[in-house]
Chains A and B, each alone.
Chain A
């Protein structure tokens, strides 16, 4: 047995305990879970990848520190140094045996999971992707832990320092944008969801990973991650060898550990906090009465309106409250407050900046459990008459009866005011002449044929290409006579105004956990074609502070998005610059004590109006939007 074989034998006998423990945790326990699942649900599914993905780095730390600390411990170290064995050889064998244990104990559970579950596996991240990219991360963490242990020579302290390093390697790429390509999450996502062309084919820049027996795609940029992790491995090993040879020791006392851990957490928190971009200046807060959910917030540069439907008699929304606003550069003032009683079934509220004191409400005659269909109406609220504001309504005789349960908003699914015309589009096009704002005149109802991809769209508008995030999206434009192409596009976008937004030529689609932007490519009388421009995924830190993109508004190349699912309570607004191919956050606003954010309304001068439960917030433009 030569020296290397003897050292290998020694290391293997010392480190195999780690292998046994790791296999029990990462394979044995999931196997028990799978047996339990088989008994309870008659389905044998292994969920090892979840634990491997979460705790693989921690195992790398323990093995990295553990392999070093066994021999670098006082007299035992002196004994080894007295042997006729090169320190470098001894340490390198130690390093590679430990690394092999990390790889084997984490890879075997993943391979078993792939074999057992087949393609039907569904426990979070695909084990094939973990197997493709995580070993680089584990190797880097292991190498740094190994080096730290060689320098510190105290197990508990080395473990804590290594865990701090693990946190930094994992979180910094998610927090610092320039480092994002070095993040494990990014490479796994990129392989899991490669970009595709309009036909759904993966783009040509993706290739098959040569070191994986399964089909895992990668693009060359992802190799930067692998290279960076390998560089960390080399640095770690070189540092460990040199530290041991030169007998360098870093005295990591209690103080040092406290400061190190504290500083690491502070760096992560600071980076996360500032990464959320600068805060929007709060210019003014206007108290609003306690109301139910806000139904309308609309404003131009000088006027605006906020409206709510409130519970009235018989537990129906029978009271409509609204406040008109006057807006100037100094701030926003409540001009008048109104409330009207109406038992109509209100479908939506439309405000026309040209007539700021009039509100149009597509509605239906009252519905009840016994009366399921109502006659379509257009109600008009005159807000000029102060406390005596009144509601008048006229029927729309030609459109089908309104049925709330079968198809909400069917005769007024899409609405738009353009010049002196109010367009309500459903199966039929209903147009009102607003020359006399308080007495809209019904023009002849028209049936329009509105098709996309050869299918009749009517009001069943489903934009599958947007849902699938195809590279090209074509929106069919309704052939509304007299309406310019641009306004037709706005009419289509109005149906999804809360999660599909238009600003200039940019279309923004909120997907809950991310947003996608498209640039208008061609506008023809029948369709608007958009080409995918960019995508914004909140980082882990942003997700921590709340990142579920619920709804928003867009103006001037900025998307204002309401974020919820905040772990710490409250609501946030994120401002994302969508004008370029790389959407980036340029501002945010955290709202204290607001669990619900009603509507957002950007003003032409860059200010933003945001309606909370009891307050109207006037926010300044983001400082670094330009």
Chain B
């Protein structure tokens, strides 16, 4: 297991560095120059994080292995494929989490308590992380069988666009901020954490959204594990 972790870490760590540096640099430069209001800039960085991290982390795990022809070797190892998949999935989660933590730290170091409180910065990053992870599981499940990273990226971008369009469609509905059918439908949307919650009863809505998204993520995860190549596929 440690070897597998070591392998994945060595393969994916540049993405960790890339995501952290890009998000940290955008947040750092923007907050240092104060080119727009801190809150608006952080929202922009978090939106970038959702787009970048979800696609980058989900598409480089399994399809890249297949593209490089190393999947068979991986499956031929004396470990259960489910363990291989779990480690890959864990690394993917790490690729989403670490850059956002880095971005939050940079933001707090430069602008914590300046225009918006440190707690608000942390909350915004937490909401972004929740949305990123929700999208990550969608993309992981839908790209796990694809043969190349490029094709997986296209599918991931398609997933992103479809959810964004659905979000816009739901947000265009009137009074969605009030408890009702639209706000309940929003709980299915990965962007629910970024779009906000009804003014009244937001705790219930947040809990509902978290439960729904966790259930969806679990289902997608199981689906992806089911779709992950079995050991017999390693045979020529």
Tell whether B65 is near chain A: CB-to-CB under 8 Å: no
* Set of chain A residues within 8 Å of B43, measured between Cβ atoms: 568
* Set of chain A residues within 8 Å of B26, measured between Cβ atoms: 266, 269
Q: Which of A509-555 contact B (CB under 8 A)?
A: 545-546
- Among B18, B40, B56, the residue within 8 A (CB) of A259 is B18
- What 1/0 mask marks residues of chain B from 107 to 147 whose CB sits below 8 Å from any chain A CB? 00000000110000000000000000000000000000000
Would you call B22 and A266 a contact (CB within 8 A)?
A: yes
Tell whether B226 is near chain A: CB-to-CB under 8 Å: no
Would you call B29 and A593 a contact (CB within 8 A)?
A: no
Question: Given A266-B26, A274-B33, A592-B116, do A568 and B150 touch, yes or no (CB 8 Å)?
Answer: no
Which of B30, B33, B43, B150 has the most A CB atoms < 10 Å from its CB?
B33
Question: Given A156-B150, A269-B26, A273-B29, do A572 and B36 touch, yes or no (CB 8 Å)?
Answer: yes
Tell whether A62 is near chain B: CB-to-CB under 8 Å: no
Question: Given A266-B22, A269-B29, A592-B116, do A569 and B35 touch, yes or no (CB 8 Å)?
Answer: no
Would you call A592 and B37 a contact (CB within 8 A)?
A: yes
Would you call B37 and A569 a contact (CB within 8 A)?
A: yes
* Set of chain A residues within 8 Å of B116, measured between Cβ atoms: 592
Would you call B29 and A568 a contact (CB within 8 A)?
A: no
- What 1/0 mask marks residues of chain B from 1 to 37 whose CB sits below 8 Å from any chain A CB? 0000000000000110010011001100110111111
Closest to B56 in A: A258
Q: Which of A578-620 contact B (CB under 8 A)?
A: 588-594
Closest to A591 in B: B37
Closest to B43 in A: A568
* Set of chain B residues within 8 Å of A272, measured between Cβ atoms: 35
* Set of chain A residues within 8 Å of B30, measured between Cβ atoms: 269, 273
* Set of chain A residues within 8 Å of B189, measured between Cβ atoms: none
Would you call B29 and A570 a contact (CB within 8 A)?
A: no
Would you call A273 and B40 a contact (CB within 8 A)?
A: no
Would you call A258 and B40 a contact (CB within 8 A)?
A: no
Cα distance, A272 to B44, chains bound together (Å): 15
Cα distance, A584 to B53, chains bound together (Å): 38
Q: Which of A228-245 contact B (CB under 8 A)?
A: none
Cα distance, A594 to B37, chains bound together (Å): 9
* Set of chain B residues within 8 Å of A278, measured between Cβ atoms: 33
Tell whether A255 is near chain B: CB-to-CB under 8 Å: yes
Give the B interface residue count (CB, 8 A): 27
Question: Given A269-B30, A592-B115, do A545 and B35 touch, yes or no (CB 8 Å)?
Answer: yes
A161, chain B: closest CB distance, angstroms: 16
* Set of chain A residues within 8 Å of B35, measured between Cβ atoms: 272-273, 276, 545, 588, 590
* Set of chain A residues within 8 Å of B149, measured between Cβ atoms: 254
Cα distance, A262 to B22, chains bound together (Å): 7
Tell whether A67 is near chain B: CB-to-CB under 8 Å: no
Question: Given A269-B30, A592-B115, A592-B116, do A570 and B18 touch, yes or no (CB 8 Å)?
Answer: no
Would you call B22 and A593 a contact (CB within 8 A)?
A: no
Tell whether A279 is near chain B: CB-to-CB under 8 Å: yes
* Set of chain A residues within 8 Å of B44, measured between Cβ atoms: 568
- Among B25, B34, B60, the residue within 8 A (CB) of A266 is B25
- What 1/0 mask marks residues of chain A from 142 to 185 whose CB sits below 8 Å from any chain B CB? 00000000000000100000000000000000000000000000
Q: Which of A122-155 contact B (CB under 8 A)?
A: none
* Set of chain B residues within 8 Å of A273, measured between Cβ atoms: 29-30, 32-33, 35
Question: Given A568-B43, A568-B44, do A262 and B37 touch, yes or no (CB 8 Å)?
Answer: no
Q: Which of A210-261 contact B (CB under 8 A)?
A: 254-255, 258-259
Cα distance, A186 to B36, chains bound together (Å): 25
* Set of chain B residues within 8 Å of A592, measured between Cβ atoms: 37-40, 115-116
B61, chain A: closest CB distance, angstroms: 13
Would you call B36 and A546 a contact (CB within 8 A)?
A: yes
Tell whether B188 is near chain A: CB-to-CB under 8 Å: no
Which of B26, B34, B39 has the most A CB atoms < 10 Å from its CB?
B34
B185, chain A: closest CB distance, angstroms: 26
A570, chain B: closest CB distance, angstroms: 4
Closest to A258 in B: B18
Tell whether B41 is near chain A: CB-to-CB under 8 Å: yes
Closest to A276 in B: B35
Would you call B36 and A566 a contact (CB within 8 A)?
A: yes
Would you call A593 and B39 a contact (CB within 8 A)?
A: yes
Cα distance, A255 to B19, chains bound together (Å): 12
Cα distance, A591 to B39, chains bound together (Å): 10
A472, chain B: closest CB distance, angstroms: 37
A240, chain B: closest CB distance, angstroms: 25
Tell whether A270 is near chain B: CB-to-CB under 8 Å: yes
Closest to B116 in A: A592
Cα distance, A135 to B150, chains bound together (Å): 33
Cα distance, A278 to B33, chains bound together (Å): 6
Q: Which of B44-84 contact A (CB under 8 A)?
A: 44, 56, 60
- Among A266, A270, A545, the residue within 8 A (CB) of B36 is A545
A592, chain B: closest CB distance, angstroms: 4
A265, chain B: closest CB distance, angstroms: 8
Cα distance, A570 to B33, chains bound together (Å): 16
* Set of chain B residues within 8 Å of A258, measured between Cβ atoms: 15, 18, 56
Closest to B150 in A: A156
* Set of chain A residues within 8 Å of B25, measured between Cβ atoms: 266, 270
* Set of chain B residues within 8 Å of A568, measured between Cβ atoms: 36-37, 40-41, 43-44
* Set of chain B residues within 8 Å of A276, measured between Cβ atoms: 33, 35
Question: Given A568-B41, A568-B44, do A279 and B36 touch, yes or no (CB 8 Å)?
Answer: no
Would you call B40 and A570 a contact (CB within 8 A)?
A: yes
A453, chain B: closest CB distance, angstroms: 44
Cα distance, A266 to B30, chains bound together (Å): 10
Closest to B114 in A: A282
Cα distance, A87 to B40, chains bound together (Å): 54
Cα distance, A326 to B38, chains bound together (Å): 30
* Set of chain B residues within 8 Å of A545, measured between Cβ atoms: 35-36
Question: Given A254-B149, A273-B29, A592-B116, do A570 and B36 touch, yes or no (CB 8 Å)?
Answer: yes
Question: Given A269-B29, A568-B40, do A590 and B34 touch, yes or no (CB 8 Å)?
Answer: yes
B98, chain A: closest CB distance, angstroms: 16
Which of B21, B30, B149 has the most A CB atoms < 10 Å from its CB?
B30
A101, chain B: closest CB distance, angstroms: 27
* Set of chain A residues within 8 Å of B40, measured between Cβ atoms: 566, 568-570, 590, 592
Closest to B67 in A: A254
* Set of chain A residues within 8 Å of B18, measured between Cβ atoms: 255, 258-259, 262
Cα distance, A589 to B38, chains bound together (Å): 11
Complex A-B, nearest 5 residue pairs according to Cβ-Cβ distance, in ascending order: A592-B37, A273-B33, A570-B37, A279-B34, A568-B40
| Chain A interfacial positions (CB closer than 8 Å to B) | 156, 254-255, 258-259, 262, 265-266, 269-270, 272-274, 276, 278-279, 545-546, 566, 568-570, 572, 588-594
29 contacts between A and B (CB under 8 A): A258-B56, A259-B18, A262-B18, A266-B22, A266-B26, A266-B29, A269-B29, A273-B30, A273-B32, A273-B33, A274-B33, A276-B33, A276-B35, A279-B33, A546-B36, A568-B36, A568-B44, A569-B40, A570-B36, A588-B35, A590-B36, A590-B38, A591-B37, A592-B38, A592-B39, A592-B40, A593-B37, A593-B39, A594-B37
Contacts A274-B33, A592-B37, A592-B115 known; list 17 others, CB within 8 Å.
A269-B26, A270-B29, A273-B29, A273-B30, A276-B35, A546-B36, A566-B36, A568-B40, A568-B43, A569-B40, A570-B37, A570-B40, A589-B34, A590-B36, A590-B40, A593-B39, A594-B37
